[in-house]
Chain A
Amino acid sequence: MGRALKLGVILLTVLFLAGCWDYQEPDETAWVTALGVDRGRENLLTVTLQIAVAAQVAGGVEGPGGGPGEAMVVVSMEAPSILSAIELTHAWINRRVDLSHARVVVFGRELAEAAFDRYLMPLTRHRDFRPSTKVLVANGRAETLLQQGEPVLETSTALYWTLQTGAWDLTEFIPRDGFGPIVVDAKSPGAAAMPALVGLEREDEGPPDPTRTPKGAHMAGTIPRRGGTKIDVMGAAVISGGRMVGVLNGDETGIVKMTRGDFRRTTKTLEDPLHPGQFIVVEVVPREPPRVDVRIMLEGDITSIQSGEHYERPEKVRLVERAVEESFRSDARVALDKAQNEFGADVFTIGFHAKRLFPTWPAWEAFEWDEKFPDAEISIDFDFRVRRIGLMRETVPFR
C-alpha cells in the first residue's frame, strides 16, 4: 500500500471520528413549537410541550371527522427537570423530541415568582435554544395556556408564535427581548429582564368600567375584547433577583421600551385640551434615540381630531404636542414609581448607560446600582413634535 493511500485512509478515518452520526430524518422527529414550564402538581415541574402535527401543517391529511385535523398536540407531564420530562415524553411520543424549533418558552406565573432563574439558566446550556427564542411569562399556568392557545389565522403554531411575539414593533405593549437578551439582562447588574406577559382571554366581561380608561392600562388576560385567539400577549413581567417581582401594563411597557430603544410606534388617543369629552388621535414614532438624562424624542402624525378645532395651524400644534408629552409623562411617572418603589428593579436599563461612567467593571459592580436604583433621582422627559397632520390640511365640520 502506497504512502499516499495510507495517508488518505487515515485522513478519511479522521473525518468519521468527527462524530457526525447525528443523521436524523425530519419525519422521525417531533418538532416542539412551544415549551411550557409550571410549578408541578405532583413533582417539581409540570412541563408542557406543544408539538406541531407536520402532515397537518403541510396540508395533506384530513382529520378524523373529515374536516381538517388538529395542527398541534399538547402534552404535559410531571418531572423534576425539563430534560427528564423530555425523556419521559418518549414513553408516549414515538419520535425524537427536538426543541431546536421551539419558538417560545412559557413560564407559569407561580413558578416565575418562585424561581425564574433556576429553570431559565439551565436552558442556556442546551444548544437547542437559540437567542431569538422568546421567553414569556403566563399570567396563569403555562399548561392551560398552551392547551387552549390554538391559532386562528394560521394552521402552524410555530408561525403563530413567531408572528405574535414579533408584533413588538407594531405596538408599544409587547416587549422585544428574546431568550438571549433576557438571560443577559437577568445576569447583569444595572438591568432587569423583562419577558413579555402572556395570558388567556378573560372569561367574563368584567365589571363595567364607566371611565374611559386608556387602552394601555390593560395587560394580558384583562384586555376587553371579543373573538380571536384565546391568547393575549401584552405587558411585561419584571424579573429581579432571579424572581418575577411584578407586572407592567401596556403603557408602562411602552415607556420602558422607549428608554431601552425598542420603541417603534404607538397610537395615542388624547382628550382634546380645548374640548373635554372629545379626542385627538396621534400616531407616535421615535425621532432620535433616547438620551439618558432621560429625554425621549418623539414625533408623530395627527390622525383624528373629533372636535374640528384647527390644531393643524402652527399656533395650535403646540397644544397637541404638550398634551401628548403630558400623557407620556404621566405614564412614565407611574412606570418609574412602580419600578423604583414596587419592584426595585431597573427595567429601564438606565444602569446600562450609567455604567460607562465607571472606569472599570469592578468599580461598576462595587457601586451596586441595583441597591441604589430605588433611591436614584430619575426624571423622564418627553419632547414630542407633530410631523404630519394626515391627508387633511384643516378640519371642516359637516354642516
Chain B
Amino acid sequence: MSLVRILSRLLVFREPEEPRYAFTAGREDRPRERGPGADAAGDKTNKLREGRRVDNLLEQDRPLSTSLDENERLLREIFRLPENKDLVLRPFAVGTEPPRRALLVFMDGPTDKTVQNLAILQPLMLLAGLRLERDLEGEGPVPGTGDETARKELLRRLRETLLPGNEVTMTDTFRDMASEVLAGNTVLFVDGLDSALSVETKGWATRGVGTPQVEAVIRGPHEAFTEQVRINVTLVRKILRRSSLVTDFVKVGQMSAYQCAVLYLDDIANPDLVAEVRRRLESIQADYVNESGLLEQFIEDSTTGLAPQVLATERPDRVAAGLVEGRVVILLDGNPWALIVPTTFFSMMHAAEDAYARWPFGSFARLVRYVGLALALLLPGSYIALVTYHQEFIPTDLLLAFTGAREQVPFPSVVEVLLMEIAFELIREAGIRIPGTVGTTLGIVGALILGQAAVAANIVSPILIVIVALTALGSFAIPNYPFSLSVRTLRFAYIALASFLGLFGIMVGLFVHLALLARLTSFGVPYFAPVAPVTLGAPDHLWRSPVWEQERRPDYVDPLRRRRQPRVSRGWVRAKKKDDERPGGR
C-alpha cells in the first residue's frame, strides 16, 4: 500500500459500507439480506399473523380434537416448536390391547421427573393392561372409543384408577391445557379422546422459608414469606387455623397470568371490601404484573399520592393480624411481599413488635419512631431555617459554636446541607446496589465522606455531621420502606422551603403536606383514620394500649364483627360471672 493511499484513507471521508446485520431497528423499508435463519424467522407481518392466529385459538376456547395428530399440530403451533426447546412431547402407547397412542406434554424444568416416571408413565405403560381391561367390580371391560359414552368411560377410568397423582384435572380446551402446561403440570393426551388429563407435577426450585430481611424483630416469629404463593398461604394458614379463612385466586395481568391470591376471613371482613378488592384486581389489563410493587400501583386509590396506600409486609404474623382485624390480604405468586388493604398512616409507623412487647415499651418504641419521622422529614430544613433566618431561637452559646464551626466553610448553609444530604443518599443508594463481594469498601468510603474527612477538608462544619446522622437514623427508624422513601424525598422539599422562607416555609409545607395526606384514601378509608376522622376502635394507633384494652376491631374497616374480646378478657382477675363466659364476637 502506497503512502498516498494510506494518507488518503486517513484524511478523506468515505461512506461506510452497509452493515451486515439482519436486524436494524427502524429500518424496515430496506430490503433485508437473506442470511441463514432468515427464512425460519419469517417476515415481520407473517410473524404477527401467526401470533394472532394462536391468540385467537386460545381466546376462542377452541376445544381439543379427538385426533391426536391434530392436537399435536396445534400444540406445536401454540408453543412455537421446533424453535422452543423447553416443551417436551413424549409419545408413547398406553399398555392396553391393542395399545392406544398417547402423548405426554410438559415443560422441561418446572416439572418433577420422578413424579412423571412413577405416577404417569409407569402405570400407563405397564399397569394399564392389568387395570383397564379387567372387569373392575362388575363394570365390564373398557369399551372402544367409538361413541361418546365410551370415551367418557375410558377417561373416567384413566383418571380414577390409573393415575396416582394427587391432583388430576380434566381440560377440554387449548387455553386450559396451555396454562396447565405452563404452570408445571403434565398433560396427557390419548388418541381418540377430546379431553386431556392434567397431572400435578410441579417441581421447580424454590427458596425455603427464611427470616424477614426488612421487618426483623427481636421478639416474635422469625418467618418470612417466600416466592411461592402456595407456601405463603400455608404460612398464614399455619397461624390462622380457621375454616372461615378464604383463599380466592384471581388472574391478574395478560402477558403471563400470574396467580394472585386474595385472603380474607369470611366471617369478619366486610363483603363489600372483598368485592371491591376483587373488582380492582380483575379489571387490571396490563402487560406485566409480576411484582407486588407493580400490583400496588395498579390498585391504589391515588397514584400521585405522597405516601403508599397499601401496606406491604413480608411477615405472615402481620398478615394474620390484619386478617383478624377484617382487612383483606393480596398475595402474588413469585413474590415475598403481601399487600394488606385498607391501610392507614398509622399502620405505616407500626412494627410487628409493638404488640409483642409489653404496652409501655411498645408505646415508647412508637413514640421513638414518630420522633424519628419528624427528624427525618424536618431536621435538615429546620436547621437551615434556624441558622439562617431565626438565629434568635438558638441559645447564644450554641449559636456562637455554630458560627465558629462555620467560619472555615466557604459554602452557604443550604449548599452545605445539600452536599451532605446528597452524599448520604448516594451512600444509601450505593449500599443497596453494591455487589456483596465489594460491600466492605462502602463502609470505609462512606465513613470517610460522611465523617472526619469532610470536616477536615473544611467542606462542611462538624455540626452538620450530627444533623445528617440524626436525619439518617430517623429515616431508618421508619418501619415501612415505601413510606420512608416518601419521607426521604420530601425532605428535600422541606430543605428548599426552609432556605427560601425559613420556619414559615416549613409551616406552609407541613400544612400542605398534611392536607394532601389527609385527602388520601386506601380502598375508601381515610388515610388518617381513626384520628381524622375520629372513629371507634381499639386504642392502637399513635399509642399502643394494654392488650386487654384491644376490645374492638378498627371501625374504619367496617368488619362484620366489631368486638374482638369481651370487656374482661383476663378471666382470672375476678370471680366468674355468666357474662364473661361468652366468647368474643357479637
- Which of A's residues lie within 8 Å of B, judged by CB? 15-16, 18, 20, 22-27, 29, 31, 33, 52, 54-61, 98, 100-101, 103, 128, 130, 156, 158-159, 162
Contacts and interface: CB of A to CB of B under 8 A. Distances in A.
A45 B89 CA distance: 107
B405 interface: yes
Top 10 closest pairs, chain A to chain B, by CB? A58-B404, A54-B403, A54-B404, A158-B396, A27-B406, A100-B392, A57-B400, A55-B404, A26-B403, A101-B396
B399 A26 contact: yes
B404 A57 contact: yes
Given A58-B401, A130-B392, A25 B501 contact: no
Contact of B388 (A25, A56, A59, A158): A25
Contact of B389 (A16, A23, A57, A159): A23
Contacts of A16: 500-501
A269 to B, nearest CB: 36
B500 A54 contact: no
Interface string B390-426: 0110001101111111111100110000000000000
Contacts of A101: 391-392, 396, 399
Nearest to B389: A22
Given A156-B397, A159-B397, A59 B504 contact: no
B501 A52 contact: no
A54 B401 CA distance: 7
Given A15-B508, A101-B399, A162-B396, A26 B406 contact: yes
Given A54-B404, A60-B404, A60-B405, A20 B505 contact: yes
Interface in B358-407: 387-389, 391-392, 396-397, 399-407
Contacts of B403: 26-27, 29, 31, 54-55, 58
Interface in B487-504: 499-502, 504
B404 A20 contact: no
12 contacts: A16-B500, A16-B501, A20-B504, A23-B388, A23-B502, A26-B387, A26-B399, A26-B402, A31-B396, A60-B407, A101-B391, A158-B397
B501 A15 contact: yes
Contacts of B504: 18, 20
Given A31-B396, A57-B400, A103-B396, A26 B505 contact: no
B89 to A, nearest CB: 59
A130 B413 CA distance: 26
Contacts of A57: 397, 400-401, 404
Nearest to B408: A60
B399 to A, nearest CB: 6
Contact of A20 (B387, B391, B399, B501): B501
Contacts of B508: 15
B391 A58 contact: no
Nearest to A33: B396
A29 B504 CA distance: 22
A26 B501 contact: no
Contacts of B408: 60
Contacts of A27: 403, 406-407, 409
Given A20-B501, A20-B504, A25 B400 contact: no
A61 B412 CA distance: 21
Q: Which of B392, B504, B505 has the most CB of A within 10 A?
A: B392
Contact of A24 (B391, B396, B400, B404): B391
A159 B413 CA distance: 25
B391 A100 contact: yes
A15 B497 CA distance: 10
Contacts of A162: 396
Contacts of A103: 396
Nearest to B387: A26
A178 B405 CA distance: 31
A24 to B, nearest CB: 6
A185 to B, nearest CB: 24
Given A33-B396, A158-B400, A20 B388 contact: no
Nearest to A21: B500
A20 to B, nearest CB: 5
Contacts of A25: 387-388, 406, 412-413
Nearest to B396: A158
B22 to A, nearest CB: 49
Contacts of B407: 27, 54-55, 58, 60-61
A159 B397 CA distance: 7
A369 to B, nearest CB: 37
A59 B499 contact: no
A24 B388 contact: yes
Interface string B482-525: 00000000000000000111101100100000000000000000
Contact of B400 (A20, A23, A54): A54
A24 B392 contact: no
Q: Which of A16, A25, A61 has the most CB of B within 10 A?
A: A25
A25 B400 CA distance: 12
Contacts of A24: 388-389, 391
A7 to B, nearest CB: 13
B395 to A, nearest CB: 9
A20 B396 contact: no
Nearest to B384: A23
B163 to A, nearest CB: 64
Q: Which of A16, A57, A61 has the most CB of B within 10 A?
A: A57
A159 B294 CA distance: 58
A16 B408 CA distance: 31
A56 B502 CA distance: 28
Contacts of B412: 25
